[in-house]
Structure 1
């Protein structure tokens, strides 16, 4: 089980550095790229998560993979995670950093689920409508679920808007059963 307090502590630390440097987006992109690079190799995940692997070896691998690719602060942040034996928290730290960065920049993340892949035009229309409703900039995280049949389900935080065919059928079913 992840220690959420530690995740928040480390994410806030790199967030504050990024904010001081005026590089919220850049650091977020670098953290995301490092995470994707590590997660793209299953053996790397096991390697960095294994407490029996010498931290020196982990640092050498980070140096080979990322020293020239990342800014000094982000690279040293990864080394710090190795030193403190917290690298297993890295994916969650990246997610928390993104949440902090989005909040600071006034951006909401909307999980948008459709039955089939949404076209760029549809994505823009959804984003524009959500921005109009919320008054904030909205980034879409797209998902597909064929069981929706058609339409769209949007989730922003704890708010859920179900405009799917499956959702409407379920609502109709409940109303019909209630009138029996």
Structure 2
């Protein structure tokens, strides 16, 4: 719980800087690239998160990897995380930053699960319908689950819309058992 709270505070800090500079998208992209890059090399991730490794050595690695590649504020933010021994929180910070950024820009992320891959037309139809329902711009995160049989399940935040065949069959089963 403490780590989640810390990640939120750090994410809020870099978010405020990005908002002041009108660079919400750029900072988000840079944070995501850093996370992806470091997670793709487990040894680098372990090295940067290891409290037994000297701060100077970890900062040197950050410098070699990212100096000149990132905006100055994001680069110095990474160095701050190293100084405060919070670099291991970077994935959680990046996720929270993304949430804050999307909220500020009026974007909702919808997790859409289908039984088979949704083609471009289906994706656009789902996106348009969700935008109409929510009044906001919607980005889709696509998932597949053959157990749905057909249809779609959409999750936006804590709301879940089940339009799947499996969901309808489960509802029908409950209704039939309730009428016994």
The answer on 1:151 being equivalent to 2:151 is yes
1:51 aligns with 2:51: yes
Cα distance in structure 2, aligned partners of 1:109 and 1:94: 15
RMSD: 1.2
1:100 is matched with which residue? 100
Q: What corresponds to 1:85 in structure 2? A: 85
Q: CA deviation at 1:2?
A: 5.1
TM superposition shift of 1:154: 0.3
SS in 2 for 1:141: strand
Per the normalisation by structure 2, the TM-score is: 0.96
Establish whether residue 32 from structure 1 lines up as the match of residue 32 from structure 2: yes
- Aligned partner of 1:4 in structure 2 is 4
Segments of 4+ moved more than 4 angstroms: none
d(CA) in 1 for partners of 2:164, 2:53: 49
Give the 3-state SS of the residue equivalent to 1:109 in structure 2.
Answer: strand
Q: What TM-score results when the alignment is normalised by the length of structure 1? A: 0.96
Determine if contact 1:2/1:89 at 8 Å carries over to the other structure.
no
| Matching residue of 1:170 | 170
Q: Secondary structure at the match of 1:166?
A: helix
Once residues 24 and 155 of structure 1 are traced to their aligned partners in structure 2, the CA distance between those partners, rounded to angstroms, is 24
Question: 1:117 aligns to what SS in structure 2?
Answer: coil
- Quote the residue 2:16 is aligned against: 16
- SS of the equivalent of 1:3 reads helix
- Distance, in Å, in 1 between the alignment partners of 2:48 and 2:69 is 19
